[in-house]
Chains A and B, each alone.
Chain A
Amino acid sequence: MRILFAGDEHPYSAYALKKVIELAWHTWADVTLLSVCPTQPSSRDPLPEALHRYREEFMEALGGPDSPYAQERWEYEWMALRNGSWEEVQVRRGIKKELRVRLRVGNADTEILSEAVRDGSDLIILGCSGGGGSCMWDSAASTAPQKVVGNAACSVLLIKEDRPVKRILACMDQTTASQESLEMINQLLTIHGAQLELVGLTKDGGARPEAYTQLIRIGDYFGDKGIPVSTRLAEQSKFESVLSTHTGDDLLALWMGKKSLLTLLFPRDWVEKFVSACPSSVLVLR
């Protein structure tokens, strides 16, 4: 698994980093910590400083001698310099797994999405200011988190608060859930010891066979793996009231694949508005 953490210097990013550390602790994922500066950073810019602090925190938690991230492997690597030339420098890498720290310059959401593609990320994790319709990055009132959720090709975990996850409330429709998204749910259930509730969304009159079949298929997938799962169907028109039943200990998961009913029914900015309004953390699955 490859995890991309995108953060700024504010407290919600520190919460998100804690989640990254927790996931990395169990999965031994390759991790990239990324910040994006709007202009070339100066030595006093808070973002490089924050990234440095995040790296230290990560290594303090996971850099022990028996850790896969323990930096004991010295290698020579070519690094691009600003003037177009290259320099071969000696770098220290993790024994088995990588922790990379990167700084990009430009528009935050564009650069995060671009890094995710370049890195082959399976999951982007980022924090944002809490619910109530904000979900922003404080720096320049940036809507980067919403844009990343709306446009990423991989799954995105948006952390709004530092709370344990006791239940994953996963909303799905009749379209096929990707293998990667099922595996992502598996990992999060295992790590949190959480319960799983699947909500099958239907439209125009109750249990359409496709939605029902898909709900059973996915329910069986988890059931066969020994994961207790409860299922229910809900009218798409009542989707928002379904969401209102979840609590702060829930992680709300939404399947938003290319052919997802949710994607078809709701415009992209609805997704962005929804994740903003949602009071708890949100996992968007792709």
Chain B
Amino acid sequence: MTSDQKTTVLILDDEPIVCKRLKPALEKSGYEVESFTRSREAMHRLTERQFDIAITDLKMDGMDGMAFLTEVKKRYPETEVIVITGFATMETAKESYQKGVFDFVAKPFKLGEILEVVKKAEAKRRSA
């Protein structure tokens, strides 16, 4: 990752409204963003390219966010994964961290909060 390249972000959330909110906000902040509402499609995209940052919901039909996190970290250990969830529990938070998540953000959140987390993840990627 070089400093003149745009940081790439993948968003996976089965609620279209979340992608609709996050994608333009991140693009406006200078990120290159792809969003998915189906985990299978997001997983397929990961076979084609790597992302610097992945933001994933936890509770979804098909492959859930925890399995997605595991797959991303297995395929690209350096990709920073941010978990967002509407059903937060201590267990899922701890499990996420054990699997190497960068941060765990419970819904609801303001765009500013997630942008701050993405910026921190980006800083970590760039300093690696």
Please report A residues at the B interface, Cβ cutoff 8 Å.
Answer: 1-2, 25-30, 66, 68, 96, 120, 122, 179-181, 183-184, 186-187, 190-191, 225
Contacts and interface: CB of A to CB of B under 8 A. Distances in A.
Contacts of A30: 113
Contacts of A186: 86-87, 107
Given A26-B88, A179-B18, 10 more contacts: A1-B105, A1-B108, A2-B109, A27-B88, A122-B110, A180-B107, A183-B108, A190-B87, A191-B89, A225-B86
B6 interface: no
B94 A187 contact: no
14 contacts: A25-B90, A28-B88, A29-B106, A68-B104, A96-B104, A122-B108, A122-B109, A179-B15, A179-B17, A179-B18, A184-B108, A186-B87, A186-B107, A187-B86
Contact of A187 (B88, B104, B110): B88
Contacts, number: 65
A29 B88 CA distance: 10
Interface string B33-67: 00000000000000000000000000100000000
Contacts of B108: 1, 122, 179-181, 183-184
A28 B104 contact: yes
B93 interface: yes
A60 B33 CA distance: 40
Given A66-B94, A120-B113, A179-B17, A190 B89 contact: yes
Given A26-B90, A28-B93, A120-B112, A187 B107 contact: yes
A190 B86 CA distance: 9
A68 B97 CA distance: 10
Contacts of B87: 186-187, 190, 225
Contacts of B17: 179
A179 B110 CA distance: 11
Interface string B12-31: 00010110010000000000
B103 interface: yes
A74 to B, nearest CB: 17
Contact of A1 (B89, B94, B103, B107): B107
Contacts of A68: 93, 104
Interface string B81-93: 0000011111001
Contacts of A225: 59, 86-87
A29 B21 CA distance: 20
A187 B104 CA distance: 14
Nearest to B93: A28
Contacts of B88: 26-28, 187, 190-191
